[in-house]
Chains A and B, each alone.
Chain A
């Protein structure tokens, strides 16, 4: 115990005296939340809208007002002819256009179908269709209000899409769970692998191995501090996400933290495994990047939805720990569900932690032989 305490203290000295690395590990997640939060947005906001209204009447003016009032659109141009739109789209001054046919109000009143064309810049298909959706919502509301006002009109049934769990379609709500997985991977897998291989490089690991310390003590002494730092990091990310982006945590916070701990254990075990098979920090870094960071980022549903991956990669994603953690974190944070719904994912993560920890302890032991 005394020996272990000494080891832990020594590891804390390493971490605290390497100020730059410490700042980087603690600040990285904080900065990333801000970067992801503000720059990588799939939300629809400030859509530059053009209106083609050859013969303005009360209906078209009313709709134009409604678009402005929706808060999402900004009318940047009103032109008389459809042809005038081309240069606007080409220069990127306009992202979406609404073309009213002449006599729009009259047709509405007479019960004929009033024609309206919705044009979107689809260079980014997802945002393009999202903008369409918003525009349709404005039009639907108008139709409903007309119907409620007793206006005779042909009521079209428009399929309605409701966004559940993320009603405001905030992308920050989606990325925070994935970001936590990434941060934990960096701190747990990468930092552990680096700190163990560093001792191999400097030769101090040999000194520890010839001492009466048991392998398990050496491992615990190495990873415990990173467990703590990982935990602090999760708290920081959650706090920041909550305060700046108002990301909800619908479910139990303690369950979320417990699952985080489970995921940290998985990542730590991966870090130990990597360090057992490598002897230089450079190789360990590459192995950690390719072996843990990339799959955790690309195959966890963080960046690309798992459903949209090719079949083979979907299968591969099953062995990526982050996939399960992201599913759990999203479940707890956005849907507010508990273990009743997440027991399968939790069990898989726990099994992974158990198997990987056993493997890493074994591989560490093999190094002694």
Chain B
């Protein structure tokens, strides 16, 4: 175990819990994310990934437990958290009936950037994405892969310390997914902490560390290589199936469809 001091931690979660009525969506999860780390949040649909992210981004109040994001407490300092984080949901978060540039201006304004900051950052971003020519086009008219990359870049426009990505690559083709992950690496290299949820197990291999959520709990956590070695599996996919279905081995033997 690496020893880390608190100020090296971007996210610190202890026993975080969220209960909806009688259903416990997130059940006492605890984990830390170091600054500049790409942390993968894996789990089947409904395992509680999105609920956990919503609590960390201030969209949802936790039922119990504690969490600090970018050094701010989620209960008492949720407003301070908001300007330090970026967020991109699984649903596309740009306005389709606004042009690329109008979307950038809008979010720049919302995060209180000055006009000149917005101009230079927009220029840099569009240049990097190769979207300069499309600046005046409606977002609704550009291909999905580009929209996805654009949404990610817009989430990074205000240079947040941490960016939360909730299934950012669902529904895009493998090549675009690959390019998307390059963007994630670039962001991490420049010091941004990335917390990304996915249910593509191959993407888990790209993360520095991962946690696998099953029914609201963290069933496994560590580096992809470490986890595979620990449990003697070939791939994260295999580990995931074993964790998600405790009777997995038996089921495979019983040729259950």
Contact = CB atoms under 8 A, between A and B. Distances in A.
B93 A212 contact: no
Contacts of A3: 109-112
Interface in B203-244: none
B87 interface: yes
A155 B254 CA distance: 109
A255 interface: no
Interface string B80-108: 00110101111111111110001001111
A213 B82 CA distance: 9
Interface residues of B, number: 30
B87 A206 contact: yes
B161 interface: no
Nearest to B105: A6
Nearest to A201: B91
A211 interface: yes
Nearest to A6: B109
Contact of A204 (B57, B61, B93, B108): B93
Contacts of B97: 13-14, 17-18
A208 interface: yes
Contacts of B93: 203-204, 206-207
State the majority secondary structure of interface residues on B.
loop
Contact of A207 (B79, B87, B108): B87
A210 B87 contact: yes
Contact of B111 (A202, A209, A212): A212
Given A210-B57, A210-B85, A212-B112, A10 B102 contact: yes
Nearest to A367: B59
B71 interface: no
Given A14-B95, A206-B89, A213 B110 contact: yes
A211 B91 CA distance: 16
Contact of A10 (B79, B83, B91, B106): B106
A260 to B, nearest CB: 29
A7 interface: yes
A212 B83 contact: yes
Interface of A: 2-3, 5-7, 9-10, 13-14, 17-18, 202-204, 206-213, 368-369
24 contacts: A6-B105, A6-B106, A6-B108, A6-B109, A10-B106, A13-B97, A13-B98, A14-B97, A14-B98, A18-B97, A202-B91, A202-B95, A203-B91, A203-B93, A206-B93, A207-B89, A208-B110, A209-B59, A210-B57, A210-B58, A210-B59, A210-B82, A212-B110, A368-B58
